[in-house]
Amino acid sequence: MSLLQMSISAAVMIFIITVIRAIAINRLPKKTFIALWGIVLLRLLVPFTLPSPISVYSLAVRPKAGQTGSTPILNIFPSSTNAAAPAVTVTAGISPWMWVWGIGLALCILYFTIAYIRCRRQFMISRPAENDFTVKWLAEHKCRRPVSIRQTEKITAPLTYGILRPVILMPSQTDWTDTKKLKYVLAHEYVHIRRFDGVTKFLLTAALCIHWFNPLVWVMYVLANRDIELSCDEKVVRLFGETVKSAYALTLIGMEEKKSGLTPLCNHFSRNAIEERIVAIMKIKKTTVFNLAAACAVVAVIGSTFGTSAAAESVSQNLPAIEEAIVTSPDGPYASKFLPDPDIYAKYSSYGISISQDGKRLLYNGQDVRLFADEHSDGEAFYYDEAGTANLAVTRNSLGEITGVDTISEEAAQKYRSAFFGADVNSTAQVNNENEVNAAAQINSKEVSGGTKFEQYSPYGIDYISEVNIMYFKGQRVKVFIDESAGVFNAFWTDEDGTVNLSVVRDSSGQITGIETISEEKVQDYRVAADNYEQDLLNGVEEKIAEKYSDK
Task: Please spell the DSSP secondary structure of 484-543, one letter per residue.
Answer: EETTEEEEEEE-TT--EEEEEEE-TTS-EEEEEE--HHHHHHHHHHHHHHHHHHHHHHHH
Total number of residues shown for the chain: 552
Rounded CA gap, 145 and 55, in Å? 40
Q: Are strands 512-517 and 89-90 parallel, antiparallel or unpaired?
A: antiparallel
8 A C-beta contact, residue 483 and residue 491: yes
What H or E segment, with its residue span, contains residue 421? helix 410-421
Q: In this predicted model, what pLDDT tens digit does every residue of 287-336 receive, in sequence order?
A: 889 989 999 999 999 988 888 877 654 444 444 433 443 344 334 444 45
For residue 290, give every residue at least 6 positions away whose Cβ sits within 8 Å of its Cβ, in sequence order, or none.
none
Q: In this predicted model, what pLDDT tens digit does every residue of 179-218 receive, in sequence order?
A: 888 999 999 999 999 999 999 999 999 999 999 999 999 9
Rounded CA gap, 376 and 378, in Å? 7
Residue 451 has pLDDT above 50, yes or no: no
For residue 552, give every residue at least 6 positions away whose Cβ sits within 8 Å of its Cβ, in sequence order, or none.
none
- CA nearest to 526, candidates 66, 75, 67, 87: 87
- CA nearest to 36, candidates 8, 13, 58: 13
Which of 120-134, 321-335, 483-497, 527-541 is least confident?
321-335
- Phi–psi pair at 363, nearest 5 degrees: -120, 150
Tell me which range, 108-117, 174-183, 498-507, 509-518, is most confidently predicted by mean pLDDT: 108-117
8 A C-beta contact, residue 477 and residue 522: no
Which one is predicted more confidently, 202 or 48?
Answer: 202
In DSSP notation, 151-175 reads: EETT-SS-EEE-SSS-EEEEETT--
Mean pLDDT for the stretch of residues 488-516: 83
Q: Kindly report the number of other CB atoms within 10 A of residue 300's CB atom.
A: 12
Q: In this predicted model, what pLDDT tens digit does every residue of 413-441 receive, in sequence order?
A: 888 877 776 544 343 334 334 444 444 44
Q: How confident is the model at residue 536 (pLDDT cuts 50, 70, 90)?
A: low
Residue 29 has pLDDT above 50, yes or no: yes
8 A C-beta contact, residue 72 and residue 310: yes
Q: Kindly report the number of other CB atoms within 10 A of residue 528's CB atom.
A: 10
